Structure 1
Amino acid sequence: MIGVAETGIGFLLLVGLLFLGLHVATAMFMVAVLGAVIYLTPAMVNTAGMQFWSAMEDYTLLAIPLYILLGEILVRSGSTDKLYRSLADWLNPLPGGLLHTNVGASAIFSAVSGSSVATAATVATVALPSFRRRKYDDRLVLGSIAAGASLGNLIPPGIAFIVYGALTNTSVGQLYAAGVIPGVLMTLLFMATIILMSWLKPGWVRQKEVLDPLLERLKRMVDLLPPLIIFSIIMGSIYTGWATVTESAALAVIAALPIAALYGKLNVRMLHDCFIATAQLTAMSMLVLACAFYLNFVLGLLGVTPALGKFVTELGASRIELLIALSVFYLLLGIFFESLPMMVGTVPIVFPVVIAAGIDPVWFGVFMVLMCEISLLSPPVGMTLYVIQAVRREGTIAEVFVGTIPFFAAMVVMTALLVAFPDLALWMPRMMYNP
């Protein structure tokens, strides 16, 4: 058994190793091995292989490569381009014009891909040529793309919810339900931010767009159907009890194949590229998760959970005080770490504290994912910012940083709303699972 002080030292060691540039999986494995050797017995290191194997046997985790594959198929089918054009027909008249399409397209694509990085790359590739022709200010354009991409994990079926559910043994179905209202509200806050910026900085946007005839715009609405069908299959099969989270992901992949065929993109070369990209992203994610599960195993044997629970009880901090402290902690941590390492590196230590304070694990899952999404917008490490700059291939990354500031503020407001009104996340899972 170890105390809170030793746990704190271990966490600082983990953070220090990450600052030195070690891969997050390597850093977590080293901390776990040191803990096993110093406080348990060197023989416990030999259990690492067994823990890796058992961690990867989790059936729910199979949904991760399936959702990655789903996003790859939809992107390479060209459906995202058509989705963007169709949304632009209806969102352009709003103050801020085409900027709203970045957020709207990201929200819809997030509902089928589950990845913020994939959403950022996809929407940036489709959107940037349109904005260059219309001469919008680059900063607000890039910021709106980055903000929309941050919805990738918050709007179900986000991959981060699967990771959190596996780490904490929380129902992924309930997490998906909990993410719906915050995801929609976050989308509306981003659009409100664009409207506000268009009023404050009218020279940054092009207010008037020439719209096509109504009949043509109505015809193009058919391009909204593929992502909506995929989303309906995923969520409908889960909440009717017809399929598990993993099975629903497999159904969505099967449904995406005829969509790609209808767009004339389904061929062996396209599928080969999808499979290669999926294997690469899955291998990277699973290595991190395997090491996180081994760290969890060691922490459990060391008695970290009861020690932290006792510490929180004796501290006497209220729920609000604890959540404010965690919000500040994650906002600062997000400046230096990417979202997945931040989640898997801290949840094993923070989760027992949260449970000891009486905070609902489903609600905390939404809070945790929101914190991870904020980290994607936090320079200098925010992954989506560099993905967008890589697609852009001109200017400087500093312009992307500046453009995200208004949307970063909107996400902080969303965090405050979530803390102040927990039912934003808990109302839907309560209605669906405890009617």
Structure 2
Amino acid sequence: MSITLIITAFLVMLALMLLSLPVAVAILFVGVLGGYLMYGAPLVDMMGGVVWSSLNSPSMLAIPLFMLLGELLLRGGIADRMYAALAVWFNRIPGGLLHTNIATCTLFSATSGSSVATAATVGTIALPALHEYRYPIRPSLGSLAAGGTLGILIPPSINLLVYGQLANASVSQLFAAGLIPGITLALLFSVYLFIAHGKAGNASLVEVDVSLKEKLSLSKHLIPPVVIFGVVMGSIYGGLATPTESAAIGVVIALAFILGGGKMSLDLLIHCSLQAAKTSGMVIIVLMCALLLNVTISMLGVTQALTQWVASFGLTAVGLLLVLLVFYIILGTFMDAMSMLVLTVPITVPMVMAVGIDPIWFGIFIVLMCEIALITPPVGMNLFVVQGVRKDGGSFNDVIWGSMPFVAIMALFTLAIMVWPGIVMWLPDLLAGR
């Protein structure tokens, strides 16, 4: 199959998306129509069986379960108390509540798996306090938007689950690979805030003085997310449960904490279930269409054609990754993270494997690119989420310019994992006994 035809099909999908067609429709149009034109009805007939066998899998159930877990944490009041507990510890560090934004996003990410939910939840809680203590608006908004992106990197991550399904990669290995980069990126965000905005929030140092006893008392509110994360990830890596089973365990534990906190109600359960179902439905429909596209790609020999094409350039692994870095940053300026993921994984994974790049490592690379896409204008989802929860009616430029330093940090960190791939692969290799 010619490379020209492959590139044309990819550009057609992009054009359809730019015409405001739903992502799933654009992918379905090219995947099914392309297969029909090349092989006729028999190929289209077999697509149903392939998609059913892929979706009728216990691993797919992890997506709605982790979505439900995030909703329960959001609506059950756990996130509110978590922010208050972290604020009293970080308040006196130069940068104050800006560090609390990052820390809360990191901890919430470790249980929710969603960037948008993380940014919306922490933003809603944090912005009134940031406004009250006169924190500068741009770093305040930027730290919330960037901190929210950690939701798709720190496990459990919905994006890593989808990548694992599309690339046929181990989800448990991907979760392990995302842990150290996620924590490292959170620390780098805090280092930047310490250096660049260390004087922010000086007013709160005078107005807020919490004793050590009160700090320790408030710290009990950190127990629910820590326990949920420990049990979910511990059960996976201890070999006691699959990712799907561990997600179910996490939901049960979250329900127990909500019940213990007196927040349990039928309305809460109905609302959380409906929201989780809506979000899961959107993700799974896009994933299903990507799987249909995969059928066409496999039958038409696209993988082999791309492999030969990449080899003809004589690019090294680093050279190819630098090209993909620029490609993804540009793509992320006009495409949302999940769409970018499902659209490109079937094409890029064979390319990088052809030059010897580990698909687990590449999963983290792609998720980092998705993180950048979440906070780059004009369609960065987290930018709109954070702008939407602010109440002062300020300019959208504030959140854009506040996020730009974090985009630079993520791009530099991506270069760092190219130079030192062990940042990503050390933990999964250790757990796998390699």
- Under TM normalisation by the shorter chain, which class is it? over 0.9
Are positions 1:297 and 2:295 aligned together? yes
Which residue pairs with 1:346 in the alignment?
344
Q: Is the contact between residue 95 and residue 200 of structure 2 (CA under 8 Å) also seen in structure 1?
A: no
SS in 2 for 1:348: helix
1:206 positional shift:
4.9
* 1:11 paired residue number: 10
Q: Note if 1:426 corresponds to 2:417.
A: no
Preserved contact between residue 47 and residue 295 of structure 2 (Cα < 8 Å)? no
Alpha-carbon deviations, 1:234-262, whole Å to 9, x = none? Answer: 11000110000100000000111110012
State the shift of 1:50 in Å.
Answer: 2.9
Q: Describe the shift of the 1:68–1:325 C-alpha distance in structure 2 as closer, same or farther (beyond 3 A).
A: same
Aligned to 1:331: 329
Change (3 A) 1:80 1:328: same
State the AA in 2 paired with 1:351: V
**Alignment match, 1:184:** 183
Aligned partner letter, 2:205: K
Instruction: Give the match for residue 19 of structure 2.
Output: 20
Q: Match for 1:370: what amino acid?
A: L
In structure 2, C-alpha distance between the alignment counterparts of 1:361 and 1:203, rounded to whole Å: 41
What is the aligned-residue RMSD (CA, Å)? 1.3
Q: Within 1, Cα distance between the matches of 2:11 and 2:120?
A: 33
Tell me how far 1:207 sits from its aligned partner. 7.0
Q: Is contact 2:62-2:244 (8 Å) kept?
A: yes
Contact 1:113 1:157 in 2 (8 A): yes
1:249 corresponds to: 247
Other-structure match for 1:387: 385
Q: Is the 8 A contact 2:307 2:354 kept in 1?
A: yes
- Look up the equivalent residue of 1:240 and give its one-letter code: G
| Per-residue deviation, residues 47-74 of structure 1 (Å, max 9, x unmatched) | 3433432232132121110011001111
Instruction: State which drifts further: 31-40 or 314-323.
Output: 31-40
SS at match of 1:208: helix
User: Aligned-pair distance for 1:216?
Assistant: 0.5
2:300 and 2:203 mapped to 1: Cα distance?
A: 59
Specify the alignment match of 1:208 in structure 2. 205
**Alpha carbons 1:148, 1:187 under 8 Å: kept:** yes
SS at 2:335's partner residue?
Answer: coil
Question: What does residue 265 of structure 1 align with?
Answer: 263
Q: What does the per-residue CA deviation read over 1:366-413, in whole Å, with 9 as the maximum and x for residues that have no partner? A: 101111011001111011111111111422222111110111111111
Cα pair distance change 1:205/1:355, threshold 3 Å: farther
Deviations 1:328-381 (A, max 9, x none): 000110101000000000011111101101100110011011110110011110
Local SS of the residue matching 1:136: coil
- Partner of 1:150, secondary structure, is helix
Within 5 Å, give how 1:106-125 maps onto structure 2. Answer: 106-125=105-124
- The CA deviation string for residues 133-175 of structure 1, in whole angstroms up to 9 with x for no partner, is 1111211111000011010011111111100000011001011
8 Å contact from structure 1 (residues 110, 156) kept in 2: yes
What does the per-residue CA deviation read over 1:255-295, in whole Å, with 9 as the maximum and x for residues that have no partner?
A: 11110012111111110001110111011111100000000
Count, aligned residues: 432
| SS of equivalent to 1:329 | helix
Aligned to 2:37: 38
Please give the alpha-carbon distance, in whole angstroms, between the structure 2 residues aligned to 1:81 and 1:204: 20
Distance 1:150 1:412 in 2: 13
Asked whether the equivalents of residues 86 and 223 of structure 1 are also in contact (C-alpha less than 8 Å), the reply is yes
Residue identity opposite 1:270 in structure 2: L
Alpha-carbon distance in 1 for matches of 2:93, 2:429 = 35
CA contact (8 A) 1:198 1:204 kept: no
- The residue that corresponds to 1:162 in the other structure is 161
Q: Secondary structure at the match of 1:122?
A: helix
1:313 alignment partner in structure 2:
311
Structure 1: which amino acid aligns with 2:369?
M
Q: What SS is found at the alignment partner of 2:205?
A: coil
Moved more, 67-76 or 205-214: 205-214
| Residue type at the aligned position of 1:428 | L
Counterpart Cα distance in 1 of 2:411 and 2:202 = 24
Q: Which runs of 5+ in 2 are unaligned?
A: none
Amino acid at match of 1:344: V
Cα distance in 2, alignment partners of residues 203 and 80 from structure 1:
24
* 2:333–2:380 CA contact under 8 A, matched in 1: yes
Deviations along 1:188-244, one digit per CA (max 9) or x if unpaired, are: 110011112215xx4687573533111011111111110000001111000110000
Aligned partner of 1:237 in structure 2 is 235
